[in-house]
Structure 1
């Protein structure tokens, strides 16, 4: 059925797009949707023609997190194998997205809360609409953050601001998110996808190089990170590969065509 919660997938010119489709519930993630996210990630990993990924959602809100009906079921017996399997499926799909071998962009319309914020933070770059609110949300629901929420916040914000959001319940507006480095930029909803596609054009045009840059970024930047000298060594071999692939003739400047030779 058209109104059944699902994930839509498309690939166009090296850009793979994953769209959450459950707008009636602010695109809450159901268990069937987590399976589809996993299948999408497997496709991106194996299809080396894909150089970038866009993650967005139907309607006017990005994601409200895991479906509350699943959370309610888990609350009855949170240590049961069934409950552990439910939460592991949701967060596991986010980890798969966050560890894709290509650069990823999340388009956050309206906002993201709880595990929905985890999903947005799993992407490498976040674009937000001016009305977006980014909210940890776990404290307000009187549950502990899950899915590596604190780690994801801290990766972009640092300790103080991550604790302000998770342990004090502070939310960030779109403007504040950009100012603090949680989001890349803000733009109207109708412009968000075009901006993302433009951002993805270069990696999509050279997927092999994009995947190698993403791998180096992960090695160098993930905590505890690398020293500058170590980063030089990590990049040396891959840069040599890219230079060899390019070839010396590609650097030769083409002779300028005399103006008189150009037909009027």
Structure 2
């Protein structure tokens, strides 16, 4: 590494996004608190670059997505929405909104488990980002709000599919078409979030999830590959799942035998 190269273990600022890689864990932090971490085009591009690094670095076994300040994400930057409202059919309008949503798809397609931390709330496209992660940890009183209806616009970015995948048809309609919102506690009860806890307790929950995944990134990535293949959407049949898992399970057993350990690499 050259003296001028950034330290991969130190946080780096990149267009209102902070990123760091340490101990097998990548962290993506939205850093636009004055605008409630609204996603700009520059931030979307930075998210894509972060995802490229995670994909390429096979020592990364887990990713955390969080934000600075008291609110996770208020959606796409209002300047993008204003431009799209002025001329929604313009190629540039389509391009800009597509860039924001494409960044979220990249987060949702990462080869490692992704843990999102929502403090304060997530609305509109910000809720899309929260729904893109694999496991969501939030504060009990955070507000998870579809928000599109209140703005007088149709949901975008696959919002309805993301909601349905998390909470089912009835709650999707309640949120997207009837303007309802969920607190963090309600999100856990409905299966949208993994856990709700006070801010001071969240780091321990996140560490408990990321630690085991980061200790054996190679195995974690193979597990997540099977997760994405089997669970979809669409999910596969049980018979198909057995076949998907067979080869990788045999690989893991062979690796364990070669290492002479019953607990995998790096374990005593």
Name the TM-score, length of structure 1 as normaliser.
Answer: 0.92
Partner of residue 65, structure 1: 75
**Does the 8 Å contact 1:13/1:204 carry over to 2?**
yes
Partner of residue 206, structure 1: 216
Please give the secondary structure, in 2, of the residue aligned with 1:54. Answer: strand
Q: Which structure's CA Rg is the greater one?
A: 1
**Does the 8 Å contact 2:64/2:117 carry over to 1?**
yes
Q: Give me the CA root mean square deviation.
A: 1.5
Mapped partners of 2:231, 2:241: distance in 1? 9
**Does the 8 Å contact 1:107/1:193 carry over to 2?**
no
Partner of residue 250, structure 1: 261
**Does the 8 Å contact 2:15/2:46 carry over to 1?**
no
**Does the 8 Å contact 1:20/1:27 carry over to 2?**
yes
Please give the secondary structure, in 2, of the residue aligned with 1:247. Answer: helix
Mapped partners of 2:204, 2:95: distance in 1? 37
Matching residue within 139, 143, 149 for 1:139? 149
Unaligned runs of 5+ in 1: 253-264
Q: Deviations 1:166-193 (Å, cap 9, x if unpaired)?
A: 1111101111100000000011112223
**Does the 8 Å contact 1:7/1:33 carry over to 2?**
yes
Partner of residue 97, structure 1: 107
Change (3 A) 1:73 1:4: farther
Please give the secondary structure, in 2, of the residue aligned with 1:78. Answer: coil
2:142 is equivalent to residue 125 of structure 1: no
**Does the 8 Å contact 1:4/1:22 carry over to 2?**
no
Matching residue within 16, 39, 50 for 2:49? 39
2:112 is equivalent to residue 86 of structure 1: no
- How far apart are 1:4 and its partner, in Å? 9.5
- How far apart are 1:85 and its partner, in Å? 0.9
Partner of residue 168, structure 1: 178
Mapped partners of 2:140, 2:169: distance in 1? 25
Unaligned runs of 5+ in 2: 1-12, 264-268
- How far apart are 1:229 and its partner, in Å? 1.4
Please give the secondary structure, in 2, of the residue aligned with 1:244. Answer: helix
Please give the secondary structure, in 2, of the residue aligned with 1:250. Answer: coil
Mapped partners of 1:79, 1:106: distance in 2? 33
